[in-house]
Structure 1
Amino acid sequence: MTTRTQTDDTHGTDSARTFLVTSATGKTGRRVAERLGARGATVRAGSRTGRVRFDWEDTTTWGPALRGVDTAYVNYYPDLAAPGAVAAMETFGRLAAEHGVRRLTLLSGRGEPEAVGAEDALRSCGLELTVVRASFFAQNFNEGPMAEGVAAGTLAFPAGGTAEPFVDADDLADVIVETLLRDGHAGRVHEVTGPRLLTFAEVATEISHASRRPLVYVPMSEGEYAALLTGAGLPAPEAQWLAALFAGLLDGHNASVTDGVKRVLGREPRNFAAFAAEAWRDR
């Protein structure tokens, strides 16, 4: 849906600015669209089934969604490390430039070497680009496919004993909105994480405490996780790719925290325990 109100940025009130949010029904897209709207922006929420149709698998939807847009949040599905992402970013960037878009913020994955090529492809369009590289979302445990297993008491994942600085999607959305609305971020890469490292076993303990229900972490191999996803109905090639992606991301190279949230927002990121307490408060 597109709503038209006033928006404030460093140049003052500019009611002519329109913001496209891609994948606007996802974890970050929904939050970004809500925050932009709350700050008075004209938001064009693009999704496969919404009033503003935008489908990453259908390039014919991209141009109409970009028409009249000044600024866009680019959240590529399924992931910038996926096959075809580089070509998609090249095409999207070209169309964005042709339609007069001025500023882009791209969501990328922290520590994903395969995603860098897609970042570069979008950067080559010549627009003002900010890249936000995020760690594993805390909300993966209560929103989306993992939530069902967590609710059933089993957290099965190919992470071994590796620690990850889980980032709260609300913090991430705040960072993204700031880069969309404010000057000074073009050309920069922000790495955002939570404030502390947790293993998946420790995550299970935190959620158990918050929900007052037992949750057991079951470490799996990459192959076992791919088989689990296939058994749940995911096509085998996609299941194998996802399992390989997660296993690669959780091999220990991302086991460090950054100050990205504080540098952009001027405050500390939310602790996983606070997220869990709120997420499972009324469940």
Structure 2
Amino acid sequence: MQDQPILVIGSTGKTGSRIVKSLNEKGFSVREGSRSAAIPFDWDQPETWAPALSGVSAAYVSYFPDLAFPGAADKIKALSEVAAQCGVRKLVLLSGRGEAHAVACEEIVRNSGLAFTLVRAAWFAQNFSEGYLLPPVLDGMVALPAGDIKEPIVDVDDIADVAVAALTDARHDGELYEITGPRLLSFAEAAAEISAAAGIPVHYQPITLEQFHEGMLEIGGPLIADVFTEICRETLDGHNAYLTDGVQRALGREPRDFADFCQTVAASGVWRKAA
């Protein structure tokens, strides 16, 4: 099976780029799944799916922008059917923790007739360093509609390591791995740890869902604002404030701590604001 490539859908994203790098380092043949790839893959152009899936042994499925978006479940179902027609053996789905839409997509993959692994991830640490919260971090103020709830913030490197294991080892077939970090953090505590590691002032400001929606309107327009506000309403209510053993079960080690993430990013210079 190692002679067949592994397709990584979302190969330029936070998880996908790490998975591609790790698979290449381990000597696996990789087919990158993005609109700019040699064999393009585009969620909005279903005609690209079969060429990208043809001849691959397994596929990592990361849906952009999020499984909560309208039509996502239909696309996951259609992709699963095309994958089966193309002879793909296994799908590894990136899912979101505590999201009803994500669970619905998990069930589609679970019932696809293909081998599968479900990777249900907590809130990404890398949102502070590679995502939409990097500019606020550099400006010294992170505002979220999260109150004082705590999250088991997870390092994306752990998600990628679990996905690589699942893509390359049949022992992970049929598993649901819920991936969290090793401890609960409030966003005020996370901001304080970033501040200490980076040597810059970073504060957390709780805001209302309505204020968050207004801010997202400026960034991405009505659909983006509506969907991401609903994701916050659903997930940032405290019901995810517990740890799981997904990393331990999948990899036989402890998940990376947020403090280690902060030290790594601080050393990289990402949190140094340009003069």
Per the normalisation by structure 1, the TM-score is: 0.92
SS at match of 1:108: strand
The CA deviation string for residues 49-80 of structure 1, in whole angstroms up to 9 with x for no partner, is: 22231111211111110111111001111222
Residue 251 (structure 1) aligned to one of 222, 232, 237 = 237
Instruction: Give, in whole Å, the separation in 2 of the partners of 1:206 and 1:247.
Output: 25
Report the CA distance between 1:142 and its aligned residue.
0.5
- Residue 31 of structure 2 is matched in structure 1 by 44
Partner of 2:85: 98
CA deviation profile, 1:224-244 (whole Å, cap 9, x unmatched): 101011123x11122121012
Alpha-carbon contact 1:223-1:240 (below 8 Å) kept: no
C-alpha separation in 2, matches of 1:203 and 1:184: 35
Instruction: Tell me how far 1:15 sits from its aligned partner.
Output: 4.2
Rounded Cα–Cα distance in structure 2 between residues aligned with 1:131 and 1:157:
28
Unaligned runs of 5+ in 1: 1-13
Aligned to 1:65: 52
Say whether residues 1:273 and 2:259 are aligned partners.
yes
> Contact between 2:8 and 2:19, CA under 8 Å: does it hold in 1?
yes
What displacement does 1:178 show? Answer: 0.4
Cα-Cα RMSD: 1.1
CA contact (8 A) 1:107 1:134 kept: yes
How many pairs are equivalent? 269
Unaligned runs of 5+ in 2: none
Determine whether 1:159 maps to 2:143. no
* Contact 1:165–1:257 under 8 Å retained in 2: yes
Q: How many angstroms apart in 2 are the aligned matches of 1:122 and 1:261?
A: 21
Partner residue of 1:204 out of 188, 191, 196 = 191
Cα displacement (A) at 1:81? 2.3
User: SS at 1:280's partner residue?
Assistant: helix
Q: Distance in 2 between matches of 1:250 and 1:227?
A: 17
Asked whether the equivalents of residues 120 and 177 of structure 2 are also in contact (C-alpha less than 8 Å), the reply is yes
CA distance, structure 1, for counterparts of residue 266 and residue 176 of structure 2: 33
**Greater helix fraction, Structure 1 or Structure 2:** 2
Q: Measure the CA separation in 1 of the matches of 2:113 and 2:244.
A: 28
Matched, 1:214 2:201: yes
Q: What pairs with 1:82-231 in structure 2 (closer than 5 Å)? A: 82-231=69-218
In 2: Cα distance, 1:193 partner to 1:39 partner: 25
Match of 1:260 among 237, 246, 250: 246
State the identity %.
Answer: 46
Query: Aligned with 1:267: secondary structure?
Result: coil
TM-score (normalizing by structure 2): 0.95
- Cα deviation, 1:179-230, whole Å, max 9, x if unaligned, reads 1111222221110100000000001100000110001111111111010111
Q: Secondary structure at the match of 1:261?
A: helix
